[in-house]
Structure 1
Amino acid sequence: MDLSEIVKSTSAQDAGHEFELLDPVRGDPTGIKLIVAGPDSEIVRKARHEMTKEISRQSARRGGLTPEGQEQIMDEFLAAVVLGWTAKEGGKAVPYSKEAFLRLLKAGTWVRAQVDGFAGDRSPYFKTKA
Structure 2
Amino acid sequence: MNTQIFRPWSALGLPALGRVTFERITYDSGMRVHLKESGSAGRRLYLDFIQLPTAIRIANESMRLVSLQLIPKEIETSFFLVENSDFLAWLHNDSLGIYKDDPIFHLAIVTDEWIDIICNEKPVLVIEGR
TM-score normalised by the shorter chain: which range applies?
under 0.3
**TM-score in terms of structure 2 length:** 0.25
Pair member with larger Rg: 1
Decide which structure has greater helix share: 1
**TM-score in terms of structure 1 length:** 0.25
Higher relative contact order (CA 8 A, sep 6+): 2
